[in-house]
């Protein structure tokens, strides 16, 4: 079995950056689905750190282009501190979201950790959306559509500067997989910064195996791989429990292949699981599927291979 560091689960129960209520229940749904027990059964040392605490969602309209910016900043600072502490303790943090705005704090912590150790960073962004919006592009002001932009230096200073380095990451370290919903203005910005996107059209044309080989190209023993797994990456036929479903996503077998190939790299050292929304789910079906796929990230294979 592949060797992984000890694992720490960190709950971040908030939908502060989302357009629908419910993602705040995601951490508990993942616990009910048995995420800790599943990883322990794989021989991993797992500690559940419980939930972070942050401001409640006031559910207000946008102000100056952003919804709940102050609360989003507070939550991301909490996430950044918690993820950074686990990395410093040589543990593998798994952020249980919560909405995808939390990746700003999570990835900022990972990026700082890599800079301090002169390690390369590869961010695998599994999502239906590019999340490269800015306040001038999206009228909703929902920050869960902006985390990659903020991490790459496009957004309010309070978020772009959260980790102390601007930009927190170079767009060249990001590989986006499964994308199939991009706003027109967002599409231009993504092209301007040269973001590497493996959208569903490309995956349909070349197959998931080749797409993942390309996305993982260059990953070596000096690379820290961070996986940011938005559950709406999956086709809603198999994963209905998300707030922003987009048809035409990866099916179960394709998703398993993604996770197994990441596991085969042996370099994943941090993980976000976000946008799980039990309010839209059916008997916790999506959470159970997410746990199944996370097991594959940690080496469970559907193949008869050692």
**Active-site annotation holder among 230, 235, 254, 272:** 230
Please report where in the chains the tokens 């099916």 appear, as a residue.
Answer: 251
Is 230 annotated in the active site? Answer: yes
Is 127 annotated in the active site? Answer: yes
**Active-site annotation holder among 86, 232, 272, 281:** 232
Please state, in angstroms and as integers, the Cα–Cα distance from residue 223 to each residue in 1, 109, 119, following that order.
20, 15, 6
- Positive or negative torsion for Cα 220, 177, 81, 53: negative
Query: Left if phi > 0, otherwise alpha if psi is -120 to 50, otherwise beta: which for 170?
Result: beta
**Active-site annotation holder among 86, 99, 131, 186:** 131
**Active-site annotation holder among 78, 99, 127, 281:** 127
Residues in the chain: 306
**Active-site annotation holder among 68, 129, 154, 224:** 129
Is 100 annotated in the active site? Answer: yes
Please report where in the chains the tokens 């419980």 appear, as a residue.
Answer: 50
Distance CA 204, CA 220 (A): 27
**Active-site annotation holder among 235, 260, 275, 295:** 275
**Active-site annotation holder among 71, 78, 144, 154:** 144
Is 15 annotated in the active site? Answer: no
Is 232 annotated in the active site? Answer: yes
Is 235 annotated in the active site? Answer: no
Check if the beta carbon of residue 12 is closer than 8 Å to that of residue 79: yes
Check if the beta carbon of residue 109 is closer than 8 Å to that of residue 163: yes
**Active-site annotation holder among 78, 99, 100, 154:** 100
Is 292 annotated in the active site? Answer: no
Contacts of 79 (CB under 8 A, 6+ apart): 10, 12, 52, 95, 102, 104, 105, 106, 109
Helix (H) or strand (E) holding 254: helix 252-265
Is 264 annotated in the active site? Answer: no
Distance CA 227, CA 97 (A): 13
Q: Which residues are catalytic?
A: 100, 127, 129, 131, 144, 230, 232, 275
């Amino acid at each position: 079995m592949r060797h992984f560091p000890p694992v720490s689960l960190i709950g971040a129960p908030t939908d502060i950056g989302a357009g629908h209520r419910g993602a705040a229940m995601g951490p508990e749904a993942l616990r009910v689905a048995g995420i800790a027990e599943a990883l322990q059964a794989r021989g991993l040392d797992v500690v559940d750190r419980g939930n972070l605490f942050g401001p409640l969602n006031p559910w207000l309209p946008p102000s100056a282009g952003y919804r709940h910016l102050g609360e989003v900043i507070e939550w991301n600072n909490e996430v950044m501190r918690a993820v950074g502490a686990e990395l410093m303790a040589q543990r593998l943090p798994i952020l249980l979201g919560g909405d995808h705005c939390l990746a700003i704090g999570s990835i900022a912590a990972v990026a700082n950790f890599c800079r301090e150790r002169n390690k390369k960073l590869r961010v695998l962004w599994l999502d239906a959306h590019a999340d490269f919006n800015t306040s001038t592009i999206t009228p909703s002001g929902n920050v869960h559509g902006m985390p990659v932009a903020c991490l790459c230096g496009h957004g309010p200073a309070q978020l772009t500067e959260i980790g102390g380095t601007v930009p927190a990451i170079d767009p060249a370290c990001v590989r986006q997989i499964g994308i199939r919903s991009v706003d027109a203005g967002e599409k231009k910005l993504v092209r301007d910064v040269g973001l590497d996107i493996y959208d569903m059209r490309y995956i349909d044309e070349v197959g998931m195996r080749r797409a993942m080989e390309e996305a993982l190209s260059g990953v070596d023993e000096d690379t820290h791989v961070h996986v940011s797994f938005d559950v709406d990456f999956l086709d809603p036929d198999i994963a209905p429990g998300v707030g922003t479903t987009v048809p035409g996503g990866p099916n179960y077998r394709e998703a398993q292949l993604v996770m197994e190939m990441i596991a085969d790299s042996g370099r994943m050292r941090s993980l976000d699981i976000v946008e799980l929304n039990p309010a839209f789910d059916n008997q916790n079906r999506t959470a159970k599927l997410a746990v199944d796929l996370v097991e594959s990230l940690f080496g469970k294979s559907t193949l008869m291979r050692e």
